[in-house]
Structure 1
Amino acid sequence: MAGAMPEKGDTWFQDYLAYYNAGKFTDRNGNDAVPDFKADVVVNAMRVVHKWDAQIGPFEVMSGIVLPVVHQTIRTPLGRDRDLGLAYVEIQPIYLAYTSPDKKFMGYAGVDVYFPNNNKVSYNYHSFNPTAYMTWFPTPKLELSAAVGVELHSKLKSSDYTSGNLFYSDWGINYKVLDKVPGFSAGVGGYVVTQLTDDKLNGVRLPDGNRQRGFGIGPQIAYGTSRAAFGLKWQHEFGTENRPEGDKFWLQLMIPLKR
């Protein structure tokens, strides 16, 4: 239900609790590049999104903010680092939202802006992410959802390093399997991320571009009513290049807030 959204004038609170475990950091050929690498990361990202009373043609207007708190333990041959902090502040200033008259399609799009916090769990550069979120019901029981976007990164001033821009897409296919429990669905979800441009240092392209790539897939279940909704999912990563490779476990929660 990536494209789901509040009604006009309403606010949603969403919480994303994730655990990530990786025992491999791959090189550009997908081979293990860092001996004894291990990452354990716990993230709790809190999101508040509001739909305004404004209307622009067929589109409604939304805004949101995301605050992710990260606890990470990273082990390499050089030692172990353990850090806790607010990773960044994500502002979602304006989304244009649309719902088809037959209610079979819903979605919204805008530009997310990430502000770093200059700590070890933050990117430490600004990022601008044009993103679209969509959900389509081809049948009453079948749901197809996706979030598609591009990450555009600013230069890291402390080292004059610029990370290349990324394309990413999260997707999910869910089916309402129990007629007696219409709010319950089960399915499969995953993601793809691929780097579109090379990393640069002092304005010069790195020899291999340091481009990253990765895929993830796994099962998921969800249950929702007008009062609340939650989802559980597991995603196993594969086909990675220049990034960690492991498993992600998610618990997602949505609670509507009164006006």
Structure 2
Amino acid sequence: MKCRKLITALLASVFAFSAMAAHATEGGGGAYPNGAEDTMAGAIPPSGFYYLNYLNYYTADSLRDKDGDKLPVDFKLKVVADVHRFVYVTKKQLFGGNIGVQTLIPVVYMDAKTPGGSDNAFGVGDIDFGVNLSWHSKNLHQAVALDIITPTGAYDKNDIANIGRNYYTFEPAYGISYVSDSGYEVSSKFMYDINTENNDTDYRSGQEFHFDYFTGKHIGPWTVGLGGYYYKQVTDDKQYGKTVENNDGQVLAVGPTIKYDYKNMSFHVKYQKETMVENRPEGDKYWFKFVYAF
């Protein structure tokens, strides 16, 4: 019965860019691509215009239940996401911090094989609009932000694979980076997601706490270290006004990160292995991130 309930929830859910998977909450995870940020995660750059590109490949071939045990089902998921992020930091200040705005536009391909059949989808996902404030000192960098993820991606409640989630997510965030005089760095970006209801399914996903992290060393133009993410659903899902039991997701991921700075650009390569997984697929993420300052 436990296995059957989890498979049923999976087949009814949405596959979305942000979660890179499905399970727990409607669509699995939240509206943020966990693990996207790494070194200098709390350091929004000075005033100017910036372009960032996140290319991510996620693959999973097992589902975990609420106890972290592998479900005996035939399941495979592959997702390729290319996310275009545009950031403009103004010279205007509020509370001593620079005011900035941003938008993220994901282009996603996914292929899913489940006990209920196979499906694939391709298209533009849910677009993110955000505002932020950032502060800088010699060693410490901090930022606060509010992002609103909008339901712009294609969605059909009868499909196994969906690019969009069909509801809004409001995400306050706080980022912090500390770099010592000798080049050692500790960074993290903390986020909390509040989801609206999916009107097509009368389903409201629970609230979620998650953070990206990095610790490493700057060596000339290179930065090397370990990073990843932690995700935990902190309130229950609801459908038709009733609580969805035993559906809260969790995951911890860790892996190596390498960054190279060249003139007004930076190149990031990283791998993240998921563990401590509950009510989600368990898989691997591969990233290439590019940053360009105009």
Task: Normalising by structure 1, report the TM-score.
Answer: 0.92
Amino acid at match of 1:63: V
The count of residues paired between Structure 1 and Structure 2 equals 248
Measure the CA separation in 1 of the matches of 2:49 and 2:231: 30
Question: Which of 73, 84, 90 is matched with 1:46 structurally?
Answer: 84
Maintained 8 Å contact 1:54/1:60: yes
Measure the CA separation in 2 of the matches of 1:91 and 1:114: 6
Amino acid at match of 2:271: W
Aligned-residue offset at 1:206: 1.5
1:121 partnered with 2:163 = yes
Please give the secondary structure, in 1, of the residue aligned with 2:127.
strand
Maintained 8 Å contact 1:191/1:217: yes
Equivalent in the alignment of 2:132: 95
Amino acid at match of 1:45: V
Equivalent in the alignment of 1:232: 269
Aligned-residue offset at 1:55: 1.3
Equivalent in the alignment of 1:160: 202
Aligned residue runs from structure 1 range 238-249, under 5 A? 238-249=275-286
1:3 partnered with 2:10 = no
Measure the CA separation in 1 of the matches of 2:276 and 2:188: 20
Measure the CA separation in 1 of the matches of 2:226 and 2:45: 25
Amino acid at match of 1:136: Y
Percent same amino acid among aligned pairs?
A: 29
Decide whether aligned partners of structure 1 residues 166 and 57 sit closer, same or farther in structure 2, where only a CA change above 3 A counts: closer
Maintained 8 Å contact 1:34/1:76: no
Maintained 8 Å contact 1:26/1:34: no
Equivalent in the alignment of 1:57: 95
Equivalent in the alignment of 1:109: 144
Q: After superposition, what is the alpha-carbon deviation per residue over 1:6-64, rounded to whole angstroms, capped at 9, x for unaligned?
A: 322x1110000000000111110112236111100000011010111211232110110
Q: After superposition, what is the alpha-carbon deviation per residue over 1:167-226, rounded to whole angstroms, capped at 9, x for unaligned?
A: 00100012124xxxx110111001100001001111111132x10000100011001144
Measure the CA separation in 1 of the matches of 2:253 and 2:115: 27
Please list every run of 5 or more consecutive structure 1 residues that lacks an aligned counterpart in the other structure.
Answer: none
Equivalent in the alignment of 1:33: 71
Amino acid at match of 1:213: Q
Equivalent in the alignment of 1:22: 60
Maintained 8 Å contact 1:21/1:40: yes
Q: After superposition, what is the alpha-carbon deviation per residue over 1:68-124, rounded to whole angstroms, capped at 9, x for unaligned?
A: 1110001012221110011101001x2111112xx2111211110000124211121
Please list every run of 5 or more consecutive structure 2 residues that lacks an aligned counterpart in the other structure.
Answer: 1-39, 156-161
Maintained 8 Å contact 2:43/2:134: no
Measure the CA separation in 1 of the matches of 2:125 and 2:272: 22
Q: Find runs of 4+ consecutive structure 1 residues off by over 6 angstroms.
A: none
Task: Normalising by structure 2, report the TM-score.
Answer: 0.82
Question: Which of 251, 254, 257 is matched with 1:217 structurally?
Answer: 254
Q: Whose strand fraction is larger, Structure 1's or Structure 2's?
A: 1
Amino acid at match of 1:146: S
Please give the secondary structure, in 2, of the residue aligned with 1:245.
strand
Measure the CA separation in 2 of the matches of 1:82 and 1:34: 22
Amino acid at match of 1:28: K
Please give the secondary structure, in 1, of the residue aligned with 2:144.
strand
